[in-house]
Amino acid sequence: MPWQEETRMSLRREFVALAKTEAIPFNQLCQRFGISRPTGYKWLVRARSNPQENFADRSRRPYTTPTKTSAELEYEALTVRTQHPAWGGRKINRILKDRGHKDVPAPSTVTHILHRHGLIDPRQAGEGAIYHRFEHEMPNQLWQIDFKGHFATHSGRCGPLTVLDDHSRYNVVLHAMYSTNTIPVKQVLTDTFRQYGLPYRINADNGQPWGSPRAQAHGISKLSVWLIRLGVKVSFSRPAHPQTNGKDERFHRTLKAEVLKGKTFIDLQHAQHAFDEWRTIYNHVRPHDALGLDVPASRYQPSPRPFPECLPEIEYSPDDMVVTVNTKGFVSLNKQPMQVSKALVGLPVAFRKDHEHDGLYQLYFCHHRLGELDLRSIKA
C-alpha cells in the first residue's frame, strides 16, 4: 500500500525511527503506517546504509538503456532533418541505413526524436500518409508534364516546367521558364529527348501550350502536332480533375515544400541553380514513400527510342482517304466540312472507314485520332 501523500518523507523518517526501537512487532508497525512489509524493510535498509538518507523517492529509470538511440545517431538524424526540413521519420531512417549506420532507430523513434527537438509542427502530423496509386509497368511508358504555378523573382516571374516519369517518379525535367509559349517549351523538350529518348506517351493538362480535347481544335496545338509527328502519343487530363496528372501534382507539392517555401530568387538563373541542386537530391538521394523508400533513379532507365533530328514523313494506309487541312483549319469529305485545327494547316490527315458502321469515318493525324464524321446524319 502507498504512503499517505501529504507527509511521505516525514512519515518514512518516523517509521524508521520507531522500527529501530523494536517496541512493537514489525508487522504491526507496518499496518499502523499503512505500508507493506517489503516497503518497510526497503526504508530500513536505505536508512542503515546511508545515515544522511532524506527518504525521497528515487528515479525508477533503469541504470542502463541498451535500446536507447546513441547520441551519434540522434545527431545524424537531426542533421539530415536540418538539411531537409520536409523529410520525416521514414526517409531519415532509410538515409541512415544507406549510410551504413548500425542499430538505426525505427522510423517512429526518429519521428519521436524530431518531436522532442521541436522539429515537427504538430499541425503537420500525419500529412505524410502513404497513398497507393496506379503506375505504369515500365519507365517511359508515360510522362506527366505540367507547369508549376508561377512565383515572383526580383527580375520577373518564374514558372517551373516539370516532367515526371510515371513508373519511377524520376524527375526528367525541372526547368525555370519565363513563359508557357511553344518555342521555349519545345527547346527544353528537344534537349530532354536527346538525353533521355522519347517516351511512348505524354499526358498534359488542358491549357497552353498543350491544347484541349474539348476545344474545336480537338486537342491539337503546334506543340502537340510536333510531339505526334515524333511518334509520341498525346493525352490530356480530364477537365477539373488534376489528379489525372496526380504524380506530377504531388511532385509540385514536394518542390514547394523543399525548395520554394520561404525562399526568394534573384532571377531565372538563380532559381535554376536551386532546381538543379535539389533535382539531384530528389532523384538520387531522397527516399520515396511510393517506391518503398527507394530513390527514383533506382527504377529509371533512358528510353530506347532515340530522338530523330529530322521529323519523319507522314504516312497513312492505302485504304485511308488522305486530305490536306486548308488555311482555315478545315477538311471535308463528300463536301461535308469538318473543323480540325489551324495547327495542322497544310498537313495531311486521313479519313478512315468504320467497318462496323457504314457512313461513319474516323479522322486521324498520324496515330492521333482527331474525331469522327458521320455522313449518315447528313440529309441528301
CA angle 320, 364, 146 (to 5 degrees): 160
61 domain-assigned: no
Q: How far apart are CA 307 and CA 302, in angstroms?
A: 12
Question: Angle at which helices 8-21 and 26-33 pack, to 10 degrees?
Answer: 160
Residue 109 shares a structural domain with residue 214? no
66 domain-assigned: no
Where in the sequence is the domain holding 79, given as residue range(s)? 73-124
Residue 119: pLDDT above 80?
Answer: no
Residue 190 shares a structural domain with residue 266? yes
Residue 166 shares a structural domain with residue 267? yes
64 domain-assigned: no
Which sign, positive or negative, has the C-alpha torsion 191, 193, 195, 201? positive
Residue 249 shares a structural domain with residue 103? no
Instruction: Please state the rounded mean pLDDT for residues 40-63.
Output: 77
**Which range, of 10-14, 33-37, 181-185, 236-240, averages the lowest pLDDT?**
236-240
Grid-cell match 518523507, residue found:
9
Q: Report DSSP letters for 105-128, one per residue.
A: PPHHHHHHHHHHTT-S-GGGTTTT
Residue 380: pLDDT above 90?
Answer: no
316 domain-assigned: no
Coil, helix or strand at residue 222: helix
Coil, helix or strand at residue 368: strand
273 domain-assigned: yes
Which pTM was predicted?
A: 0.71
Instruction: Please state the rounded mean pLDDT for residues 306-330.
Output: 93
215 domain-assigned: yes
Cell of 187: 527547346
What are the helix (H) ranges across the chain? 8-21, 26-33, 37-49, 71-83, 89-98, 107-116, 182-196, 222-229, 246-255, 268-284
pLDDT band at 195 (very low <50, low <70, confident <90, very high): very high
Residue 119 shares a structural domain with residue 259? no
Residue 155 shares a structural domain with residue 259? yes
Residue 152: pLDDT above 60?
Answer: yes
Q: Are 204 and 236 in contact (CB under 8 A)?
A: yes
11 vs 311, higher pLDDT: 311
pLDDT band at 129 (very low <50, low <70, confident <90, very high): very low
Write a three-state SS string for 237-275: CCCCCHHHHHHHHHHHHHHHHHHHCCCCCCCHHHHHHHH
Residue 237 shares a structural domain with residue 287? yes
Coil, helix or strand at residue 9: helix
Amino acid at 108: S
Q: How many structural domains is the chain composed of?
A: 4
65 domain-assigned: no
Residue 156 shares a structural domain with residue 119? no
Residue 230 shares a structural domain with residue 286? yes
Coil, helix or strand at residue 90: helix
In terms of C-beta density within 10 A (0-12 exposed, 13-18 middle, 19 or more buried), how is residue 119 classed? middle
The CATH number of whichever domain residue 230 belongs to comes to: 3.30.420.10
- Count of CB atoms within 10 A of residue 57's CB? 9
337 domain-assigned: yes
